[in-house]
Amino acid sequence: VHRLVTYIFVYEDLISLTCGAIIIWYFASSFEKNVGTVKHCFLTIAFAILSALLYLLLEIVVSRVSEVEDAKGFMPVAFATLGVSTTRSRMKKTLVFGVRVPVVLVPWFMLCIAWFIPHSSLLSNLCGLLAGEAYGLGYCFCLDFPESVGSKLDRVFPFSLLKRIPGLKYIPGSLAERRAFKSSKITPAPGTYPTQSYYCSSAPALPAFQMQHPNVQSQGFQHTCAPG
């Protein structure tokens, strides 16, 4: 039973390990920034188990037609997070290698590319993508928990310990705290941006029609030059 989770840490060679590290850094980090560290850890385990169970179910049928590669590595979970992000994205199209394609087709395009990664299982990646899209469309609503629960878990071991590790970026579970965390990184300190003052060296000359009628100024029309 433990292999339903531990298979995501299995790599056969250095190339697959490097590809897995890049995938974890690119997909998992962006997903963690959107949901928080607590929910990211929970969904990683949930997606790993769902992908493995779906893989075991489909392997019985697919193995009769062709040879099936064993499920291993973090890639199925990465495709699950990608499926969640694309199904819940508000964008309709995005750029992929300079070509505008619908967002819903991006995971399937990436699935075809992942086929060429050494020791990559197409079936397990497909199962991860299906699990992620099912969650993104709301069919796995039982996996969701309120943000109040995530905020409470932030203060419980081991997440309380993760927050104290220097150099480790911990993402809060509350949406308000995540927004404050993002704004704190982009809000400049007072005096960090240079300021420029504007001034007028001399008062502008009066137009010709005002020079011909001096009584215009007596009606309250005065030319001033204010900063800015």
Nearest to 52 by CA among 83, 21, 7, 107: 7
The Cα 71–Cα 123 span in angstroms is 8
pLDDT in tens, 192-220: 555 554 445 444 444 444 444 444 444 44
Confirm if 36 and 172 have CB atoms less than 8 A apart: yes
- Kindly provide the residue ranges of all beta strands, DSSP E only, lying in the chain, ordered along the sequence: 93-96, 99-102
Contacts of 141 (CB under 8 A, 6+ apart): none
Residue 81 lies in a domain: yes
Task: Tell me if residue 166 falls in helix, strand or coil.
Answer: coil
Residue 99 lies in a domain: yes
Residue 125 lies in a domain: yes
Which structural domain range is residue 52 located in?
2-139
Which residue's entry shows tokens 């850094």?
Answer: 25
Residue 128 lies in a domain: yes
Report if pTM > 0.75. no
The pLDDT tens digits along the chain (228 residues) read 888 999 999 888 888 888 888 888 887 888 888 888 888 889 999 999 999 999 999 998 888 888 888 888 899 999 999 889 888 888 887 777 777 888 888 888 888 888 888 778 889 999 999 999 999 888 887 888 877 787 888 888 888 888 788 877 878 777 767 677 666 655 555 555 555 544 454 444 444 444 444 444 444 444 555 555
At 45 the pLDDT is 93
Residue 221 lies in a domain: no
Task: Specify the number of domains making up the chain.
Answer: 1
As beta bridge partners, residue 86 has none
Confirm if 123 and 69 have CB atoms less than 8 A apart: yes
Q: What DSSP designation does 24 have?
A: I
DSSP-H helix ranges across 64-174: 75-87, 106-114, 122-136, 147-153, 159-162
Residue 182 lies in a domain: no
Residue 88 lies in a domain: yes
At 187 the pLDDT is 52
CATH number of the domain that residue 34 is part of: 1.20.1540.10
The Cα 128–Cα 8 span in angstroms is 11
pLDDT in tens, 10-21: 888 888 888 888
- Any idea what the Cα angle at residue 21 is, between residues 123 and 79, rounded to 5°? 35
As beta bridge partners, residue 95 has 100
Q: What DSSP string describes 132-150?
A: HHHHHTTTTGGG---HHHH
Residue 149 lies in a domain: no
First-residue to last-residue Cα distance in the chain? 70
